[in-house]
Amino acid sequence: MTDEFVAEESWLSGAGLQAPAKAGAENFPVALRLLPARHRRHLMAVYAFARTTDDAGDLAPRSQRPDLLAELARDVRRLYAWLEAAGPGTRKGDVDEPRLDAVRGLAGVVTDCAVPMQLFLDLIQANVQDQTVTRYETFDELAGYCKLSANPVGRIVLHVFGVASVRRAELSDSICTALQLAEHLQDVGEDRRAGRIYLPAQDMRAYGCTEEDLLATSAGPSLRRLIAFEAGRARALMDAGAPLVGTLRGTARVAVAGYVAGGRAALAAITAAGNDVLSATPRPGKGRTVAELMTTYVRAR
């Protein structure tokens, strides 16, 4: 085992250990307390993997990020090969085990819920893309990024609850893209300082916004109008995907309603802040999120 791999494994393991502490800062309830223990366990395992992947792409030393992300992808492939080797007529000991805690933690999710490997690889690929793509010309290009960075999470959730279907996946994609857009709007200033912009350049020009405007201490009138437009676009996507809730029953319905509620509450917080996403990060209070959850759950058809 090389010194480089030991360093990568140590960094990735450390990131995985911090994941549970970060869960409370998300717009959506990662593992609602109302859910059965098995579902909570699987969702937290998925969250730990996604958080570790994002941290490798955002927080690791820049020169190490490509290697860390490549090692995550290799370890995901090891996991699936190792689990497949547990079948009849094969010897598990002949296949390398996954090495990283965040990946090993997915074993139960994969075996219990039959989650396709590509969904985890897509989440890694989104972070690989972040290393070289820092601007998006059109909304369609940005939506293509969300297809990698956010939509796989919703599809994994459907598998966790055993309710995956083609139509539900399409509705879930709309919800997850909206959630990703809401997060981008909340983090405009932070992302710009990190060298990335997730506002379509085409829209920025249309509203008379420059990249320098995103570094101000408060949003000017042009930027506020742009944020309002992008929030409306995200809200429309959320509304288009919300019928997914009505196709579900039991704990799956509660969980997905929670994701929708978290996104709607985040967008409401942006509006309540006058679309100024630079003075402070607009975050919804728990009361607003709970109210959105009840409304989403009850109104679902």
What's at 90, amino acid-wise? Answer: T
- pLDDT score of 282: 95
Place of tokens 């009840």: 294
Q: Residue 31: which pLDDT band, with cuts at 50, 70 and 90?
A: very low
CB 106 within 8 A of CB 53: no
> Does CATH number 1.10.10.10 belong to domain 134-301?
no
Q: Is 200 helix (H, G, I), strand (E, B) or coil?
A: coil
For the segment 167-189, the average pLDDT, to the nearest whole number, is 98
- pLDDT score of 284: 86
Residue 271: other Cβ atoms inside 10 A: 14
pTM exceeding 0.75 = yes
Beta strands in 4-82 (DSSP E): none
Q: What is the pLDDT of residues 265-292, one digit of tens each?
A: 999 999 999 999 999 999 988 777 777 7
Chain-centre distance for alpha carbon 160: 16
What's at 43, amino acid-wise? Answer: L
- The DSSP annotation for 30-51 comes to SS-TTS-HHHHHHHHHHHHHHH
CB 172 within 8 A of CB 147: no
For the segment 35-56, the average pLDDT, to the nearest whole number, is 93
- pLDDT score of 241: 97
Q: What is the pLDDT of residues 217-250, one digit of tens each?
A: 999 999 999 999 999 999 999 999 999 999 999 9
Domain ranges in the chain are 1-20+32-132, 134-301
- pLDDT score of 297: 72
CB 97 within 8 A of CB 103: no
Q: Residue 1: which pLDDT band, with cuts at 50, 70 and 90?
A: very low
Q: Is 272 helix (H, G, I), strand (E, B) or coil?
A: helix
